[in-house]
Structure 1
Amino acid sequence: MERVVQQLEILTETDKEACEMPRISKEENRGNSRKMYIESYGCQMNFADSEIVTSILQEQGFDTTSDFNNADVIFLNTCAIRENAEQKVRNRLKHLTNVKKNRPGTLIGVLGCMAERLKSKFLEEERIVDMVVGPDAYRDLPRLVEEADGGQKAVNVFLSREETYADISPVRLNSNGVTAFISIMRGCDNMCSFCVVPFTRGRERSRDPYSIVAEARDLFAQGYRDVTLLGQNVDSYKWKASEESKETCNFAQLLEQVALIHPDLRVRFTTSHPKDFTDEVLHTMAKYENICKYIHLPAQSGNSRVLQLMNRTYDREWYLDRIAAIRRILGEECGISTDMIAGFCSETEEEHQDSLSLMEIVKYDFAYMFTYSERPNTPAAKKLADDISPEVKNRRLNEIIEMQQKSSLERNKLDLGKVHKVLVEGTSKRSEDHLQGRTSANKVVVFPKKHYKKGDYVNVFVNDCTNATLLGEAID
């Protein structure tokens, strides 16, 4: 799906970077003889995986570098959710050709979802690539690097039913020292007809809660104050100690355990699936002030027939019931965002209007918006015709954008004249004299710096806004 760039004013600046710019490894010199460089594309799960990869290779004597020209091993951690995402990686590989020429012996590896989708075929298509490694094979990287050092092409795209990397402590890359991701599960069992994730990341498996809580507790001790629990579908998190054991943990229970670490540790999560999103989770969120009142609940379409074609396993009424539950239990101030696809297979004009009407009813705080693009080997590619013209898709997408811009501004105006507790994440990118942070509802707030610093909780009186940002003054 082609994510809209021009609409990203509605998202935060951090979200913009996640969508458009790769994240690269930081410079860390511990005196080791070899250096690795890693570029991460796509979703937050990929960024979290890159932190696992870095941890594994640091144990093997690698330092990290932020300049690929100084690297002995270059990794691209890839995304396969959109054709455009894959093309970015191919273009990047062309730019890296000169590195191989100028520094013979430099290794280039492709990691993640694109590696899993194309497997060994990738080595034929991109001859400068030395390693192709799927998301469940990162423990095998030391052997694969050794194999590539010997002049062999190295491939491991084995998908596991057990791997969660629970025992590996991630190396935080490009960290602001305040916010961090914690992966709680891997894979996806939802066979949405448009999505490649079940084929590139495998079946769902949940990480044990003890290791998750321990990682969150360690992050808090290091000074982090905001953790996001990550999963393709966090609401289906379910851990059981063993087949014989009665000890289990669902997502609401895990959320509570992390929240209990400390009141100053904010807890977020993404992504939720409407079919699994329970009132138990909502009541747990309501119980703890430090569980952020923000939910990303992808709709994808506002029409029940289209949702059935997408194999989303819920209809419009079910989705609106979940929205009503959020408003009933958490109140109107809870932030809600969504994903929306324009021009899915056979979508009629009337069905497109249903998506617009859903957006008008819900009034999302912000949204990720796409035109549908067919992904190879998905159920939609095999069974459904991609029969909406690019012109119609783009026109519908622009109408979705316009609706969301209106809703974002309307929702932000509701915050005017109110005081919000803001966790400072750093200096505003537009002014060294201003700080920026987030509210519980995941809205970015910019305010004059004064004596405050990164990591502080600050009460901010909001006196102005755009459709992307709240503006205000700190009050002591």
Structure 2
Amino acid sequence: MNEKQRLEQQIINKNPSDIKSEKDQDLERIKSTSSDEMIAKYFQTTYQAPNMKDAKKRGKQDTQVHYDFEIPEDMKNIGEGKKFLIRTYGCQMNEHDTEVMAGILADMGYETTYDQQEADIILLNTCAIRENAENKVFGEIGHLKSLKRENPDLILGVCGCMSQEESVVNRILQKHQFIDLIFGTHNIHRLPQLLKEALFGKEMVVDVWSKEGDIIENLPRQRKGNIKAWVNIMYGCDKFCTYCIVPFTRGKERSRLPEDIIQEVRHLAAQGYKEITLLGQNVNAYGKDLDMEYGLGDLMDEIHKIDIPRVRFTTSHPRDFDDRLIEVLAKGGNLLDHIHLPVQSGSSEVLKIMNRRYTRERYLDLVRKIREAMPNATLTTDIIVGFPNETEEQFQETLTLVEEVGFEGAYTFIYSPREGTPAAKMQDNVPQEVKKERLQRLNAVVNHQAAQAMSKYEGEVVEVLVEGESKNNPDVLAGHTYRNKLVNFRAPKSMIGQIVPVKITKAKTWSLDGEMVETAEVR
């Protein structure tokens, strides 16, 4: 038996606690003589990798709310003179999580940078919703290897939804051992402790919880700007759509207490924020887990009274969009009537296989209720094409639903299986060329409807919340209307952060051009 085989056999036979105690002296020796597979086994005997079966278990224990977060004394100034960079992939919830991590790091003394060459910490806040998002992250991990080689003291971390996937953690353990830190979505509040282990330890730190997280209320945040803000009102999802990984990566639905949310919104209003967006993986399931008769409609009815100009929410599930919410939204005022309402398919048969738990008819009935209460409401949606077994006739049902509802925008996707979901076990029997062709036909309808909706704004005066310079021209300002239409126009930069009247001079498919006016009746 040679040295490599002997070490590999030792790893297999060792007790996990023995490995942990001996890690400091033999880790480098194991790395230099063992195969990638054996190194992965070494780490897995020391750390608990996320487990999809565990993630599916919905415990009945109450969610605990904590108000006692604080930076450990020995980590409060650890970042003095150092910088961090967080790259964010995916949804608004990930953006919100990045704000929290940035706030924690700032409280530890670190400063933000956008230059990876000068960063002392780089975190990749990942998305697991689609395969191409995962591929982007692994591509970025590969690019960072040379940076780590140049600067061995650089801390590289992978966090977010991908870290909650067993296969992802195992792949990093086997192929990317230069990563210093892996943590998931439930334990962001432990970042100071995890960073301490990564800074002063010699091994990769893996801390991913399959159990549901508690709610930590007093986490710091470093928000982007002071005009628009995310306000998370709940975590997780219990819908278990067959194609979706979110219930596994984000856990069960856990609602924040109404008084904590309202206090946060009042604080943002006092700071001068002009718009907030209430966030949840399934935002209108808010309150269903609370021991009270209180839902999203009740929460928004209270926020309606707070002096903040615009209030939005995302993302909603048609199954939980109840009459109380429609009644409150119809009051208008600061409650905006742009509603993102994912349908995913126009076929009741496909919706059943997706486990969406509503039919085409029920969705259209919901749209009718919304239109009756808010005749000018703007509806946008999410749609998947090429789901397993989707026929041409079923796809046609999606096209006719899009036309009947009159969506003014849609996020459209080709179905791709996600490991760990029920749909991944189905035969992916719609050919890729058929999926692409269906997506093109769907996008043609969506783009036509979007352009038609935009054309109606020409000559109108709308209120625009000015968010900053246009991405394409620093001499042009950009912002959004009440109904979430992007407007580009020329005005003094002193208007940034204000809501100003703009006359629309040209309509495009996805944006509007205009000119600021002094006074006019706005739409």
Query: What TM-score do the two structures reach when normalised by structure 1?
Result: 0.88
User: Secondary structure at 1:249's aligned position in 2?
Assistant: coil
Q: Which residue of 1 aligns with 2:221?
A: 170
Spell out the pairing of 1:8-407 with structure 2 (5 A cutoff).
Answer: 32-118=80-166, 120-121=169-170, 122-149=172-199, 150-172=201-223, 175-238=224-287, 248-262=293-307, 264-331=308-375, 333-382=376-425, 384-407=426-449
Q: Report the Cα distance in structure 1 between the residues aligned to 2:494 and 2:515, rounded to whole angstroms.
A: 12
Question: Could you tell me which amino acid in structure 2 is paired with residue 39 of structure 1?
Answer: R
Distance 2:210 2:164 in 1: 9
187-196 vs 141-150, greater mean Cα deviation: 141-150
Cα distance change on mapping 1:452 and 1:248 into 2, 3 Å: same
- 2:159 is paired with a residue of what secondary structure? strand
Match of 1:23 in 2: none
Structure 1: distance between partners of 2:241 and 2:312: 24
What is the deviation of 1:418? Answer: 2.7
Residues 42 and 464 (structure 1), Cα distance of their counterparts in 2 relative to 1, 3 Å cut: same
Give the Cα separation in 1 of the matches to 2:213 and 2:158.
23
| Pick aligned residue for 2:451 from 409, 419, 422 | 409
Q: How far 1:72 sits from its partner (Å)?
A: 2.0
Higher RCO (Cα < 8 Å, 6 or more apart): 1
TM-superposed deviation, 1:452 = 5.9
The residue type paired with residue 457 of structure 1 is I
Aligned AA for 2:360? Answer: R
Q: Is the 8 A contact 1:161 1:204 kept in 2?
A: no
SS of equivalent residue, structure 1 residue 344: coil
Corresponding residue for 2:516? Answer: 474
Deviation at 1:415, TM superposition (A): 2.4
Distance 1:31 1:73, change over 3 A: closer
User: Which residue type is aligned with residue 260 of structure 2?
Assistant: S
Deviation at 1:148, TM superposition (A): 1.7
Give the structure 2 partner of residue 435 of structure 1: 477
Report the more deviating stretch, 308-317 or 412-421: 412-421
C-alpha separation in 2, matches of 1:248 and 1:210: 14
Q: 1:451 to 1:105 in 2, by over 3 A?
A: closer
Rounded Cα–Cα distance in structure 1 between residues aligned with 2:515 and 2:122: 44
C-alpha contact (below 8 Å) 2:79/2:108 kept by paired residues: no
Cα distance, 1:120 vs. partner? 3.9
3-state SS of 2:316 partner:
coil
Question: Do the aligned partners of 1:238 and 1:250 also contact (CA within 8 Å) in 2?
Answer: yes
Shift of 1:265: 2.6
Match of 2:72 in 1: none
Aligned-partner residue type, residue 266 of structure 1: R
TM-superposed deviation, 1:428: 2.4
Question: Which runs of no fewer than 5 residues in structure 2 stay unpaired?
Answer: 1-76
Q: CA RMSD in A?
A: 1.9
Bigger CA radius of gyration = 2
State whether residues 131 and 155 of structure 1, in contact with CA within 8 Å, keep that contact through their aligned partners in structure 2: yes
Amino acid at match of 1:48: H
* Secondary structure of the structure 2 residue equivalent to 1:261: coil
**CA pair 206-31 structure 1, distance change in 2 beyond 3 A:** closer
Task: Give the secondary structure class of the aligned counterpart of 2:318.
Answer: coil
Give the percent of matched residue pairs that are identical in Structure 1 and Structure 2: 41
User: How far apart are residue 168 of structure 1 and its match?
Assistant: 1.2
Letter in 2 for 1:292: L
2:294 alignment partner AA: C
Q: 281-290 vs 308-317, which deviates more?
A: 281-290
Change (3 A) 1:76 1:432: closer
1:453 equivalent in alignment to 2:495: yes
Which structure carries more helix by proportion? 2
**Conserved? CA contact 2:78–2:109, under 8 Å:** no
**One-letter code aligned to 1:235:** N
For the 8 Å contact 1:240–1:248, the answer to whether it is kept is no
- Count of residue correspondences: 439
Indicate conservation of the 8 Å contact 1:446/1:470, yes or no: yes
Cα offsets for 1:317-376 (capped at 9, x unmatched): 011111111111111x21111001110000000001111111111111111000000110
TM-score, normalised to structure 2's length? 0.80
Q: Is the 8 A contact 1:166 1:208 kept in 2?
A: no
Summarize deviations over 1:413-459 as a string: whole Å, max 9, x none: 22233322221112223334432211111111222315861121112
State whether residues 259 and 265 of structure 1, in contact with CA within 8 Å, keep that contact through their aligned partners in structure 2.
Answer: no
Deviates most, 403-412 or 61-70: 61-70
Unaligned runs of 5+ in 1: 1-28
Per-residue deviation, 1:234? 0.8
Residue 31 of structure 1 deviates from its aligned partner by: 7.9
Deviation at 1:196, TM superposition (A): 0.3
Alpha-carbon separation, structure 1, partners of 2:429 and 2:505: 47
**Secondary structure of the equivalent of 2:196?**
helix
The DSSP-based 3-state class of the residue aligned with 1:472 is strand
For residues 448 and 231 of structure 1, the distance between their equivalents in structure 2, rounded to whole angstroms, comes to: 35
Letter in structure 2 aligned against 1:372: Y
Distance in structure 1 (CA, Å) of the matches to 2:289 and 2:302: 16
User: Aligned partners of 2:212 and 2:493: how far apart in 1?
Assistant: 50
8 A contact 1:344–1:372 mirrored in 2: yes
Q: Deviations over 1:251-293 (max 9, x none)?
A: 011112223220x431011001001111211221121311111
- Secondary structure of 2:472's counterpart equals coil
Q: Distance in 2 between matches of 1:408 and 1:349?
A: 24
- Aligned partners of 2:177 and 2:204 also within 8 Å: no
